[in-house]
Amino acid sequence: MKVLVTGSTGQLGGELVRVLAGEGHEIIAPDRRELDLAFPEKVGDAIRAREADWVINCAAYTQVDQAEAEPELAYRVNRDSAAGIARAVSAYGGRMLQVSTDFIFSGKQSCPYTEEDRPDPVNVYGQSKWEGERVVREILPGALILRTAWVYGSRGANFVRTILMAAASREELRVVDDQIGTPSWTADISRTIQALIRGDRQGVYHFTNEGVASWYDFACAITSLGASVGFPVVARRVLPIPSADYPTQAIRPRFSVLDKQKIRTLLPAPIPHWRESLHAMLKELYQCEESS
C-alpha cells in the first residue's frame, strides 16, 4: 500500500513513518519544503500528484501559545490545508486519516470525553483543529479522525525531554497539578494508526495511553523513571503549583481525559498504561543517547 505521511519531521509523523515502513508499505513523507501547509491553495496538486492509498495528516501548527498571536497561520495549516488534502484525496478516491487533539474540548467536564461529546475549544489551536476535523468530514465523510493527547516521543521537543533537561540541572522543579489528561507515547499512537488503517476504519476515534495524570504526576514519573534508567537527575523536589502560578498565552482545558471505549475493542492488544509506556520510551531514549 502507498501511504503518504505529512509532518514526518515531527514527533508522531516521524515515529509513524518508522512503524509503517517496517510493515512493508511504500511511504511518501514530504517535508515542509515539498508540501507547505501554510499555503492551502497549493496542497491539492501536491497530494493528487502522489495518489497515495492513504494520506495520514500528522502535520499541524502545534504551538499552542504562539497560535494566540498568529491565528491566521494556525487556521491555514490546521483547517484550510486539512480541507485541501481532503478535497484532493476525495478527487482520486483515496483514504485519509486526520490526527486531532483533546484540545478541541473545553475541559469543563469531569468524566472522560467520548467521541459524541460536544467540542468547545478554549484556545485558537483547539478551535483551528476542531474546524479542521469538521471540514475534513464534510468533504470526505469516510475520513478517519484520530484524537489523541499529551503526545511525547523520542523525536522532537516535548514535555519529557524538557523535564529531563531541567531535572539534570535544577534542584527544584515546579509543575502545574490542576490540568488533568493522559500522556501518550508516539509508538503506541503509531501502532494504533497502523491497526486502524489495516481495518479500513472510518469515523472518529479517541486514543491515548491508559490512566490519568496531572502534569505534576507526569513530571514526578519522568524524574523517578528517568533516574532509574540512567539519566542524570539532580532535582530533589518536584513541587505542585496551580496553573495560576504559571501563566501562558493560551488557556488550556483543565480536564481532557479521552474515553477509549470505542477503540479498545478494535485493537489487537490492550492499551498500555502511560507509566509503562513512559518507562519503555525512557529506556529507548537513554540507549539511543548512549550509543550516539
Q: Residues with catalytic annotation?
A: 125
Q: What is the grid cell recorded at 173?
A: 522543579
Residue 15 or 177: which CB sits closer to ligand NAP? 15
Is the separation of the CB atoms in 257 and 112 below 8 Å?
yes
- Residues 120-139 binding ligand NAP (CB under 6 A) are 129
Closest CA to 211 of 163, 159, 279, 129: 279
Q: Shortest gap between Cβ of 86 and ligand NAP (angstroms)? A: 14
Q: Shortest gap between Cβ of 99 and ligand NAP (angstroms)? A: 4
10 is a contact residue toward ligand NAP (CB under 6 A): yes
12 is a contact residue toward ligand NAP (CB under 6 A): yes
**Residues 6 or more apart whose Cβ sits within 8 Å of residue 249:** 65, 66, 68, 69
Sole binder of ligand NAP in the list 17, 54, 61, 263 (CB under 6 A): 61
Sole binder of ligand NAP in the list 1, 18, 19, 36 (CB under 6 A): 36
In the chain, at which residue ranges do the beta strands (DSSP E only) sit? 2-6, 26-28, 54-57, 95-101, 144-148, 151-152, 172-176, 180-181, 184-185, 203-206, 213-214, 237-241
Closest CA to 118 of 139, 128, 104: 104
**Which window, 94-102, 220-228, 239-247, 273-281, contacts ligand NAP (CB under 6 A)?**
94-102
CA distance 2 to 235: 47
Sole binder of ligand NAP in the list 7, 44, 84, 94 (CB under 6 A): 7
Binding site for ligand NAP (CB under 6 A): 7, 9-13, 32, 35-38, 58-62, 77, 99, 101-102, 129, 148-151, 156
